[in-house]
Amino acid sequence: MSTVTSTWLADKATLDNLLKPRTDLVREVATESNGTRHVFELTEGPFTHYRRTVTINQVEKSPGVETSFPTATEEVEYRLAIPLWWPYLWLFFRQALKSPDRRPRRRWWWPKEVVSAETARLIAVAGTIGTMAGYLGVIIGQTITFASRDFGAADNAQANTLAAVRIGVLLSFIFVRYADRIGRRPLMIWLAAAAIVFTFFGALAPNLMSLGASQAIARGLTTGLITVIGLAATEEVPASSRALAVAFVAMTTGFGAALVVWTLPLADAVDGGWRLIYVFPLAFLPLLWWLSRQLPETRRYVVAEEADSSGEIRWGRFAMLAATSFVFLMFVSPAAQLRNEFLTDDRGFSAFDVTVFQLLVSIPATISIPVGGYLADVIGRKKVGATAIAIGAVGYAASYQLEGPAMWVAALIGFCSMNAAVPALRGYSTELFPTKARGRVGGMLDVVGVAGSATGLVIVGALAVRWDDLGSGIGAMMFGPLIAVSIILLLYPETANQELEQFNPGDPELPEDSPVTGGERPGSSPRP
């Protein structure tokens, strides 16, 4: 339980402000008022417990003083309904609850609308599962250099294996569509559990082929998991903060990816040390069980299921998003997945050097994710997304051509810009399709995106062998982001600050008091 206490000079303007129920971070109702003590309780907000008490302290008039004011002591007791991540927001909430400015407004770290406890909990839990997905999603790309070395694989075997692993996306296509039938919550839990188990099988692989086979399944499940996480997050939050929600999920996913980078020195510490990196995810299973008891279902899915709404797909919109994803990932996937190979072979980096590079470049770039989310909600998705992709592609390509400090700077610019594009563009697959079609659309876009990724990896691998220069192979794929930027600027609608039902009029309106089911509510018993 946290407590914030403030003392104010109780003039009329201050008292009017203090004694008015808040409608910014929290929606209050007055439950007690006896002249000197005023109590306000929670009606809606991101708290499991909340009470605000204002006590007016009368003062005696001093001799010779014409006017004197009493003081008012405000005490706020609260507990955030944000599992695991609340320490990162604690100081922000503390300052906001203490501030005299109680106007509803957009904050860079929180929506301007009042967010319910169920919504806050859903986003926090989804973000935590996203951390697991981030680890599982990059493990093959980060470790394949060291696995190939142990297995004595050929130079282009890495690119071919990474491309073959992506066939597992067919599992994503098969399973993600069930998000429209059974809900986001159960699918998220089962995909996470299965992905953890199949990732672990990589530690037992006797050769590169079997490693690729196990990780093809794990990667397909993880791809579907990331899709469902993003779907749930953007579907649940208010219209003004969908990019902010995507930014949070992207940051937590990036944190999980960084965990793999932290473990990379194990690859050089002992023979076959890369296998230990595949064992670590087993520690996620107890946490996942606990999270399953906290995770609610999204309100929109509950309402759409009750209304038995249709899930008709507008194929023109799908083609627009699919084309963008394909050409963009033709460039981004090889540029990201083959970086370790480039650093070790072309720049002579050790596993420790790779870790230092990845951390010093990627950690600062993480800051650009919430910045990109904030700008996307304020300025617009199209402008922010297209600009970020263009700058990021130049930075990525340049980092493969430069050496020394210039390489680090170019990579940092590329990482920052590409990260900023994520919250601006990822929400389109949710925004442009009805509730009962978003799972199917997400699964199909996964297939298209992975097809683009595999195509890029195969082409770059072949060009790198032919030219004996991986950087030139990456540069040859620059046409991909240029086409993507053109499609975004010319064809994409602007969706910022508009409710999902505006783009999907066949969906039922979301009642303001619609409940969230499937998880425990504040004050209720945990799910069995």
DSSP assignment of 311-355: ----HHHHHHHHHHHHHHHHHHHHHHHTHHHIIIIIS---HHHHH
To the nearest whole percent, how much of the chain has pLDDT over 90? 49
Positive or negative, the Cα torsion across 235, 240, 243, 247? negative
Contact 244, 237 (CB under 8 A): yes
Contact 327, 477 (CB under 8 A): no
Q: Exposure string (b/e) for 2-18, b if CB count within 10 Å is 16 or more? A: eebeeebebeeebbeeb
Name the strand (E) or helix (H) holding 297. Answer: none
Residue 522 clears pLDDT 60, i.e. is over it: no
pLDDT by residue (tens digit) across 272-323? 889 999 999 999 999 999 999 999 999 999 998 888 777 788 999 999 999 9
Pairwise CA distance, residues 112 & 27, whole Å = 12
Instruction: Please give the average per-residue pLDDT across 79-96, as a whole number.
Output: 92
Residue 485 clears pLDDT 70, i.e. is over it: yes
Pairwise CA distance, residues 424 & 392, whole Å = 14
Residue 214 clears pLDDT 60, i.e. is over it: yes
Q: Exposure string (b/e) for 92-128, b if CB count within 10 Å is 16 or more? A: ebeebbeeeebeeebeebbbbbbbbbbbbbbbbbbbb
- What pTM value is reported for the model? 0.84
Pick from 294, 267, 270: which is nearest to 124 by CA?
A: 294
Q: Where are the domains of the chain?
A: 2-58+70-80, 117-503
pLDDT at 516: 41
Residues pairing with 32 in the sheet: 39
Distances (CA, A) of 68 to 58, 194, 208, 512: 10, 68, 81, 45
pLDDT by residue (tens digit) across 502-511? 888 888 887 7
**DSSP letters spanning 71-105:** EEEEEEEEEES-TTTHHHHHHHHHHHHH-S-----
Name the strand (E) or helix (H) holding 260. Answer: helix 242-263
> How many CB atoms neighbour CB 467 within 10 A?
12
Name the strand (E) or helix (H) holding 158. Answer: helix 157-165
Single-letter code of the amino acid located at 168: G
Give the range among 113-117, 342-346, 415-419 with minimum mean pLDDT.
342-346
Pairwise CA distance, residues 444 & 392, whole Å = 26
**Class of residue 246 by CB neighbours under 10 A (exposed 0-12, middle 13-18, buried 19+):** buried
pLDDT at 36: 87
For 61, phi and psi rounded to 5 degrees?
A: -70, 130
Single-letter code of the amino acid located at 429: S
Residue 514 clears pLDDT 70, i.e. is over it: no
Single-letter code of the amino acid located at 334: P
pLDDT by residue (tens digit) across 253-266? 988 988 888 888 88
The encoded tokens of residue 379 equal: 């300025």
The encoded tokens of residue 240 equal: 């003004």
Pairwise CA distance, residues 127 & 379, whole Å = 25
To the nearest whole percent, how much of the chain has pLDDT over 70? 94
3-state per-residue secondary structure call for 439-467: HHHHHHHHHHHHHHHHHHHHHHHHHHHHH
Contact 460, 337 (CB under 8 A): no
Terminal alpha carbon distance of the chain: 25
Sheet holding 27-33, edge to edge: 2-9, 71-80, 47-57, 37-44, 27-33
Name the CATH superfamily, with its identifier, for domain 117-503.
Answer: MFS general substrate transporter like domains (1.20.1250.20)
- The single-letter DSSP state of residue 203 is G
Pairwise CA distance, residues 261 & 468, whole Å = 27
Instruction: Please give the average per-residue pLDDT across 507-519, as a whole number.
Output: 59
pLDDT by residue (tens digit) across 28-87? 999 988 878 999 999 999 999 999 999 988 765 555 555 566 889 999 999 999 999 999
Pick from 509, 527, 507, 508: which is nearest to 517 by CA?
A: 527
Single-letter code of the amino acid located at 121: R
pLDDT at 46: 94
> How many CB atoms neighbour CB 306 within 10 A?
10
Give the three-class secondary structure for 210.
helix
Pairwise CA distance, residues 21 & 36, whole Å = 16
Dihedral class, residue 371 (left if φ above 0, else alpha if ψ from -120 to 50, else beta)? alpha
Contact 433, 445 (CB under 8 A): no
Instruction: Please give the average per-residue pLDDT across 143-151, as a whole number.
Output: 86
